[in-house]
């Protein structure tokens, strides 16, 4: 096989990341595992089509023994014993990485996925930042001369890297003329450069695995980890992986996913926003009973979301694995004290609920929220690092409970339809400009929340949903008219005409096409990636 980097050494740091040896390792990963990855992606489509026809999913019969037998995951290393607060954010730019590492959190989820726009510059800078962070040399000087460096007055968070999902390609790396698998590029470069050092220091290598839809996809990751450890002469089992349960089929296979990764498993995470996106996507054409209320009304106390999170805690603790909570979208705004106070109250309520439900820790998206999350979990944990001993044997969740969207409280409104258009377009424009996470109306938006917005619009159109506030049927014509109006609002809000023309107009066209087409596109980021440098 032949590997080719289409933009070699154009980005600072590329010389140390894109070495001949590292690329050969990525090429070897691709040659061994890309074919199986392609087969599993094809199986996803078949499974979704079958579920859409029936409007049902169930726990797999062929793995009943896995669910009913006694087994546990491997013992966790010291660096992952206390995960009560994890800060999430992109691994680039350097300033954000340093702020995350200086935040006081126990873990930094260094994102190469939903929170990072995968431009070539961002990806190389992210790998370089992780390389330097592992060696405690990461620093940054702003254009104004302000210097940022890693703190020396306290412990730094354990770094857990989130590579891209199995579905995403990397067009800047070609192997035999075919774009490489983004997940293997991300994992391969990080593991090759940092795994031995992190292991020697007792700090890794640790990963978050996104977007899995089947236990066989977890099996493939386990094979990747085992091969990588052996190939670099490292001890078997040094990798620890936390899997995001953020797709509806994965919610029916939590035991199986942990079992497949059991020698490398750390736990599961309740990836709430992608989970809602998956629920809409999987059952988008299964009838009105699967149409969710406005996104703002779908919180974690809805019955089907409670079922999902309680089952996750029970499953993890039965297997001696960590159960990690999700991210509240509310973020503080230092220029608006009232907004900040409301955000803190909402985040505090969210983290209190998770801690009392049995989660071992949770996510925040802003350094100002680290202390809030830590307080709520410490109030439940005390001096204990986790609460795996709380087995939640009181929990009983059925397939019907997980799919009970019909009992969700709330309505579809015209205001919600318009908000979805605005947010999906705004976020996609920012993503095209090279930023993977942005605050819109004091909520943190990333690819997952944008996916919810555009998918709700498609689902509402194809189910002839009636808005509760105006009594209007959601049609292609109505949504198209709203697109024009919301785009004018964005034009006024952005004010910079050059930015609007360069990013917002193409973003609006991408989202509009996804929403109005009869065929549903599985991921917004795939057509948007074609326009990304």
Q: Note if 446 is an active site residue.
A: yes
Give the β-pairing of 3-5 and 169-175. antiparallel
Q: Rounded to 5 degrees, what are φ and ψ at 393?
A: -70, -10
Comparing C-alpha atoms, which of 407, 405, 299, 402 is closest to residue 353?
Answer: 299
Q: How many CB atoms lie within 10 A of CB 484?
A: 11
Distances, alpha carbon 7 to alpha carbons 15, 130, 165, 186, 243, in Å: 12, 20, 23, 16, 32
Q: Note if 162 is an active site residue.
A: yes
Q: Rounded to 5 degrees, what are φ and ψ at 296?
A: -65, -20
Q: Rounded to 5 degrees, what are φ and ψ at 172?
A: -85, -10
Which of the residues 84, 272, 446, 512 is marked catalytic?
446
Contact 447, 524 (CB under 8 A): yes
User: What's the CA gap between 83 and 105, in Å, rounded?
Assistant: 8
DSSP string, 400-452: HHHT-GGG------HHHHHHHHHHHHHHHHHHHTT-S-EEETTEEE-HHHHHH
Helix 505-516 and helix 447-462: axis angle, to 10°? 40
H helices, E strands: number in the chain: 20, 15
Q: Rounded to 5 degrees, what are φ and ψ at 245?
A: -90, 90
Distances, alpha carbon 302 to alpha carbons 123, 235, 420, in Å: 37, 44, 20
Which of the residues 37, 44, 83, 162 is marked catalytic?
162
Q: How many CB atoms lie within 10 A of CB 390?
A: 16
User: What's the CA gap between 471 and 465, in Å, rounded?
Assistant: 9
**Exposed, middle or buried by CB within 10 Å (0-12, 13-18, 19+), for 401?**
middle
Distances, alpha carbon 267 to alpha carbons 76, 139, 356, 386, 528, in Å: 10, 31, 18, 12, 32
Residues with catalytic function: 162, 446
């Amino acid at each position: 096989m032949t590997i080719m980097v289409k933009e070699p050494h154009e980005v600072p740091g590329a010389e140390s990341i894109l070495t001949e040896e590292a690329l050969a390792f990525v090429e070897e990963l691709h040659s061994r595992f890309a074919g199986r990855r392609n087969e599993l992606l094809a199986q996803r489509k078949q499974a979704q089509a079958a579920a859409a026809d029936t409007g049902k999913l169930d726990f797999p019969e062929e793995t009943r023994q896995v669910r009913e037998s006694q087994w546990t995951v491997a013992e966790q290393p010291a660096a992952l014993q206390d995960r009560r607060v994890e800060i999430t954010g992109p691994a680039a730019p350097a300033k954000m990485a340093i702020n995350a590492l200086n935040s006081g959190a126990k873990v930094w989820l260094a994102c190469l996925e939903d929170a990072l726009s995968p431009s070539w510059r961002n990806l190389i800078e992210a790998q370089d930042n992780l390389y330097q962070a592992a060696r405690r040399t990461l620093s940054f000087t702003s254009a104004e001369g302000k210097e940022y460096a890693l703190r020396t007055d306290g412990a730094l968070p354990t770094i857990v890297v989130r590579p891209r999902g199995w579905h995403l390609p990397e067009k800047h790396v070609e192997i035999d003329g075919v774009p490489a698998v983004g997940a293997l590029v991300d994992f391969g470069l990080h593991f090759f450069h940092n795994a031995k050092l992190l292991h020697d220091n007792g700090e890794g290598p640790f990963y978050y695995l996104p977007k899995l839809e089947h236990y066989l996809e977890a099996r493939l990751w386990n094979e990747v980890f085992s091969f990588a450890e052996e190939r670099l002469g490292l001890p078997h089992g040094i990798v620890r992986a936390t899997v995001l349960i953020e797709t509806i089929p994965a919610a029916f296979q939590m035991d199986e996913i942990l079992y497949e990764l059991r020698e490398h498993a750390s736990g599961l995470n309740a990836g709430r926003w992608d989970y809602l996106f998956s629920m809409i996507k999987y059952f988008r054409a299964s009838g009105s009973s699967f149409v969710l209320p406005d996104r703002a009304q779908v919180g974690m106390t809805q019955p089907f979301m409670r079922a999902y999170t309680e089952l996750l805690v029970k499953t993890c603790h039965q297997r001696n694995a960590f159960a990690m909570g999700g991210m509240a979208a509310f973020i503080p705004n230092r220029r608006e004290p009232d907004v900040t106070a409301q955000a803190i109250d909402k985040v505090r309520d969210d983290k209190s609920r998770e801690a009392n439900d049995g989660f071992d820790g949770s996510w925040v998206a802003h350094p100002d929220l680290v202390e809030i999350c830590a307080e709520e979990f410490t109030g439940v944990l005390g001096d204990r690092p986790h609460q795996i001993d709380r087995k939640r044997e009181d929990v009983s969740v059925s397939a019907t409970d997980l799919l009970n969207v019909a009992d969700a409280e709330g309505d579809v409104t015209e205001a919600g339809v318009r908000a979805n258009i605005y947010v999906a377009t705004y976020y996609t424009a920012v993503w095209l400009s090279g930023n993977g996470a942005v605050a819109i109306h004091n909520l943190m938006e990333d690819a997952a929340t944008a996916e919810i917005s555009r998918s709700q619009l498609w689902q509402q159109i194809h189910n002839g949903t009636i808005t509760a506030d105006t009594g209007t049927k959601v049609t292609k014509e109505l949504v198209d008219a709203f697109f024009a109006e919301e785009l004018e609002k964005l034009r006024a809000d952005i004010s910079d005409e050059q930015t609007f023309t360069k990013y917002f107009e193409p973003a609006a066209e991408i989202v509009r096409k996804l929403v109005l087409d009869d065929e549903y596109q599985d991921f917004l980021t795939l057509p948007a990636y074609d326009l990304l440098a």
